[in-house]
Each structure stands twice: as C-alpha cells, then as structure tokens.
Structure 1
Amino acid sequence: MPPEHPSCHDEIFPHVRPWTARNWPIAAAMIQYPAILPDGSSVQDQKAEGWAATLAEVRRAGFNELDPTDCWLRVADLSVSRRLEFLSVCADLGLSIPAISTSRRSVIDPDPEKADASLAYIHRVIDTAAEIGAREIAVGFAAALSEAQRKALWFWTAPGHCDPADPQVWRKAVSRIRELADHAQSVGVVLSLEMYEDTYLGSADSAVRFINDVDHPACGINADIGNLVRLHRPMEHWRDMMVKLAPYLRYWHVKNYLRTEDATTGMIVTAPAPMEQGVISYRAAIAMALEHGYASPFLVEHYGGDGLSVAALNRDYIRRILPL
C-alpha cells in the first residue's frame, strides 16, 4: 500500500542513503540486562563503574552503538550530572547512542495516571535524545506484563493487555502520538512506533491505518514483526506484512523466531532464533525496506540464553546483507 501523503514520506526519508554496510549504525539492545541488581539496588542508582562494567561486555561483543533501552536504564530520568557520567562512560568505551527505545510506556495505558506519566516521560525522552544526539526514539502501546506473562517461560505465550476496540481511545492514541511527534520534530528527533501484539500496531493493516491517521513527517513505523511471528496463533505471512509496512519504516527493532505450524492439529510452536535462521528472511525484508528509502539505525535483539552474543551474530549478518 503506497503512502497516502508522499510529501510527508519525502520529509521522513532522505533521498541519499547515508551509510554503507560497514558503518550503518546497528545498536545493541539492553533487554538481557535487568534493571534491578542481585543486591536489590537499581541500575538507575548504580555508580559509573558499574555501568562501565556492563557496557564493557557490549563493547567486547563488537558493538560500536548502544541503545540504553529504558527497561535497563532510564537515561531521561537521570540528573544532568549523572547523565554526563553515563555519556562519559559510553565515550570512554567508544559507544555512541543513535537512538533510544522506551519499553511498556503506553500513553493510553488502562490506568489514566500511568498513561499521563508515560506521556510526560516520553516528552523527557525526546528532549534527552536531542541533547545527547540520538535522532530517533522507539515508542509503543505495550503495557506492563500480566501475572501470567511474568510466570511464563516465554511471556508472549500467555495472555496480556489488549488495546480496546474503542474509537475514542484510538483517537486519543493518535492525538497523543501526534503531540509527541510535534515535539520531536521541533528538536530534530523522529518517533518510530513499535509493532506489538494486540495493540493498535498489532498488525500491518492496523499499523498502516494508525500511521496515516497520525499523518506526521516525524513519525514512522518500527516494523518489529518478530513480536508477531512468535505468537502461538495464526498470523499474516511476514512477507505480506512487509509489503504493507516497508514505505513507512523508521528505527527498526529486528529479531527472528523459528515457527512451526501443524495444519493437521492446528498446533503452532515458536522459539527465538538468530536472524539468519528464523522464519523471517531478513535478507528480503531489509531489501524491501531499502527500496523504499529506509535510512535509520537497526536495533538487534534476542530473548533467551546469551542474548548479547546472538545480537552480535545478528549485527554481523545485517552487515553481510546490506549493500556495500
């Protein structure tokens, strides 16, 4: 489906691809690191030496770019002096921050106080991103994990929050994202809306409808279709999703899953996999995005096991398949 507003599309995407395979920014996610340390203290309050010890692992895995990912550290909620400490640690290790991802900070959370707090928080993230030179941020409508999800081996196999089929809530979501996009544009930052099951970006069709309703040049789609193909339910084929999504992509979370569907019994089983081994062909998916002018960083993710090492494999795979 082509963009409804070509002029907005032209503003979102530069006409010249800014990087090569060698220097395309591919950031490490911090989802494999907990926000609470073994002694019960918070990473938020950790000394700079503690941050450095963790980020040294990221650097040793071969990463030059980092997404601090706020399920690990809320950079936007650090004091100015502490934020400078964190940036100094990153600089000493040779890590840049091309983008910041927020996690489970829905501006339409069922709890109105949480929704308002998330809106205020994302405004702080936008200002922080501009301050530190991170030009893109990822936001979405995922809510906190349910009790069943917290107990499950893989949280996506248990039921969680669903955005309501309520036109008034949809309009509120559109209005709040447009408000954030206005702010982002004013400071030179772009929003990327993360696809996630049972939210207003829980399918390709809904995501495209939503982004067209927002209709803002500083807002695109984070086509994290791994969040969808991992579900134990019937799902649109990844290629069909990408055909619809490719014209709208911004900062992109990428990961892959094995997926087996038994047509006889209806059983569906999935498990995390390195990008080149899962059911999504990222060689094809990235080529489709590039054809539509994709010019944003990637974020490599992996759940389970040594997520950092698999993310490093994913980074190297992307560099092999990007144009030279």
Structure 2
Amino acid sequence: MSDPSHSTAPWTAENWPIAAAMIQQSNILPDGSSVQDQSAEGWAETVADVADVGFTEIDPTDSWIRIADLEPSRLDEFLSVVRDADLTIPAISTARRSVIDAEHGDEYLAYSHRVIDTAAAIGAKSVSFGFLQALLPAQKKALWFWTAPGHVDPDDKAVWNKAVERIRELGRHAADVGVDIGLEMYEDTYLGTADDAVRFCTDVDLPSVGINADLGNLVRLHRPVEHWRSMMQKVAPFARYWHAKNYFRTEDETSGLVVTAPAPLEYGVISYREAIRMAHRHGFRSAFLCEHYGGDGLTVSATNREYIRRILRSVLR
C-alpha cells in the first residue's frame, strides 16, 4: 500500500494520513508481561483491530509500545505485522518522557534521539514530543486524570533554556534525517498555553520544529482556559503532526463550575472544521492522529477520521 507521506504528490482528502492512536491499549498484558516482549502474533491481534475499523495508518504510540527500543529483528517483526494489516506508520508519538524530567531527563533525551532515528528508518515523517510527565497518584485514581492536579514545569528561566536547547538539539537531528517534530500542547508545561507554545517554538527557531496543536488537552481542564479559536489562531502558523480530539465543556458563569467530558470530534466544543481551515491557510501539510479517551476509543477515533476526511474534502476542493 502506498503511503502519501513518502510522496511529493498532492495529498487528497482520501489519502491524507490520519493515524489511529494506541492510547486505549495498555502496555501491560493480563498476565503481567509487557507488550514490548509480546509475540508478533499478539501484536497482530491488536493491530488487526485498527485495520478492522478502517484505518490505513497507525501511530505506535509509546505508551503502548516503544518501537525505538525494539531490537532490529523485533522491529522487523513489528513492521511486518503492520504491513500485513495493510497499515503504514506516518508518525511516532511519545508520552510522558520529558527531556527536562528532573530524574530521567538525560535518559529521555537519548530515547528521543532513538525515536527520531527509528522514524527515519521506517519512513515516518513526523514525531511528537512534549513536556508532560508521569501521572501523579491522585491523577491515577481519578476517572479522568486531567481533573486532578499534575506536574507543573518550573517558572525558572534556566530550566526553560535547557528545554529549548534540548529540543533544538533534537530538531537539528530531525532535520538531518528528514523528520519533523510536533511539540505537544499540554497544561502546566512550557507548552501549556498558546502563547507559551508559540514563544517556545520561536525560541527553538528551527524549521523542523513546530507545534502539535492538541487543543483538546487544554479545553478539557476544569478551570478557565483561553477560547479554542484564539489559541488556534496563534498556533496555526506553527502546526505540525496534530493530535485531534474533542471534549464537551460546560461553564457556569454564576458559580465558576466547569465540567468536561470526552466527545466525538464533530460534537465537542472545538470546531475542527474551522480549526483545520485555519491550519490549511497557513500551509499545514502533516498527518493527523485521532485520539479518544473512554469507552471504545478506537471506534470513536474511526468516526473522527471520517469526519476529518469530510472536512478535508471541503477544504481542498
């Protein structure tokens, strides 16, 4: 199966890469073993579900499997499983492996370099990095982890500068091997607001580094947030590999109560029709990733994929 991300031909609404995220899949199997050590047949069962709901692309999100840490023979096995399911890999997403983590930052920086090299080796054109860190105990107990306080990046110029330098290092590496980086917007990190994300990306100042405009990470917060339209207007010129998800959001102006819950892409508070048009006007040409928390996230993601294709038909005609 041809992969449009490997071609200079114009993308259409029908072949634009729209990948399935694997966030709904645990990296620990029922017997306590790791997906990392699972048999190829076991991987194939999971990957078959992605193909069964109509996806032609998959992102081997590293909360499920770290393909950058597979031995070459095992990576070949995994890629064979993906090919046998008629899927391609346009991008690789990382999660909760911040290069400025106080304890593991150096380890995660080295890992991020391996992700870039792996992406280049398998023909993936984008990677997603971010500064989100491990969930705290209260977040792990909550039904929705974003309703409990999590890690906060320090208000420290030295740490900001360290983050900029490390992402710049990764950006240069990515440029050398033909890969783009999307920096994931996420609350209370150096990419936690549209203004901060733009400022950070501007400080890095490399064409290979842009913003993963995951506005869903912000509109789901049970606190005041900037309107999604204003955020998108700011980040659209920098938009790269895009994690797309949406949320219902209700705000009670009399009490200050905010309540959110995951929503299919077309029903939530963000108008992706408008957001995609904004990005397209600024030359957005990168893959999408469909995510959804709760319930049958894979099936909802498949519905979201078709919604994006409908929007693309309108935008590209």
Q: Which category of TM-score, normalised to the shorter sequence, fits these structures? A: over 0.9
What is the rounded CA distance, in whole Å, between the counterparts of 2:137 and 2:86 in structure 1? 39
Measured against aligned partners, the alpha-carbon deviations of 1:180-231 in whole angstroms (never above 9, x if no partner) come to 0011111111111000000000000000000000000110000000000000
Secondary structure of 2:64's aligned partner: coil
- How far did residue 110 of structure 1 move? 2.4
**From 277, 285, 297, the counterpart of 1:287:** 277
- How far did residue 17 of structure 1 move? 8.3
Structure 1 gaps, min length 5: 1-15
Measured against aligned partners, the alpha-carbon deviations of 1:286-308 in whole angstroms (never above 9, x if no partner) come to 00000000000000000000000
- How far did residue 18 of structure 1 move? 3.1
What is the rounded CA distance, in whole Å, between the counterparts of 1:274 and 1:234 in structure 2? 22
**From 214, 218, 226, the counterpart of 2:208:** 218
**What residue identity is the alignment partner of 2:165?**
S
Number of residue-to-residue matches in the alignment: 307
**From 43, 47, 53, the counterpart of 1:55:** 47
Identity %: 69
**From 146, 156, 159, the counterpart of 2:149:** 159
- How far did residue 172 of structure 1 move? 0.1
2:94 paired with 1:102 = yes
Aligned to 2:289: 299
* Aligned-residue CA RMSD (Å): 0.9
Q: Residue 137 of structure 1 contacts residue 190 of structure 1 at CA under 8 Å; is this kept in 2?
A: yes
Aligned to 1:149: 139
Aligned to 1:3: none
What is the rounded CA distance, in whole Å, between the counterparts of 2:57 and 2:100 in structure 1? 31
**From 28, 33, 43, the counterpart of 2:35:** 43
- Runs of 4+ in structure 1 off by over 6 angstroms are none
Aligned to 2:222: 232
Aligned to 2:3: none
Aligned to 1:9: none
Q: Residue 28 of structure 1 contacts residue 65 of structure 1 at CA under 8 Å; is this kept in 2?
A: yes
Measured against aligned partners, the alpha-carbon deviations of 1:19-76 in whole angstroms (never above 9, x if no partner) come to 1111100000000000000110110000000000000000001000000000000000
What is the rounded CA distance, in whole Å, between the counterparts of 2:131 and 2:171 in structure 1? 15
Q: Residue 17 of structure 1 contacts residue 293 of structure 1 at CA under 8 Å; is this kept in 2?
A: no
The change in CA–CA distance for 1:142 and 1:17 in structure 2 (over 3 A counts) is: farther
Aligned to 2:233: 243
What is the rounded CA distance, in whole Å, between the counterparts of 2:168 and 2:162 in structure 1? 10
2:57 paired with 1:86 = no
Measured against aligned partners, the alpha-carbon deviations of 1:100-156 in whole angstroms (never above 9, x if no partner) come to 000001001122xx0000000000000000000001000000000000000000000
What is the rounded CA distance, in whole Å, between the counterparts of 1:20 and 1:268 in structure 2? 39
TM-score by length of 1: 0.94
Measured against aligned partners, the alpha-carbon deviations of 1:235-281 in whole angstroms (never above 9, x if no partner) come to 00000001101000000000000000000010000000000000000
Measured against aligned partners, the alpha-carbon deviations of 1:75-103 in whole angstroms (never above 9, x if no partner) come to 00000000000000100110100000000
2:57 paired with 1:65 = yes
Secondary structure of 2:11's aligned partner: coil
2:125 paired with 1:135 = yes
Aligned to 1:187: 177
Aligned to 1:123: 113
Q: Residue 254 of structure 1 contacts residue 299 of structure 1 at CA under 8 Å; is this kept in 2?
A: yes
Aligned to 1:18: 10
Structure 2 gaps, min length 5: 1-7
What is the rounded CA distance, in whole Å, between the counterparts of 2:160 and 2:234 in structure 1? 20
Measured against aligned partners, the alpha-carbon deviations of 1:145-179 in whole angstroms (never above 9, x if no partner) come to 00000000000000110000000000000000000
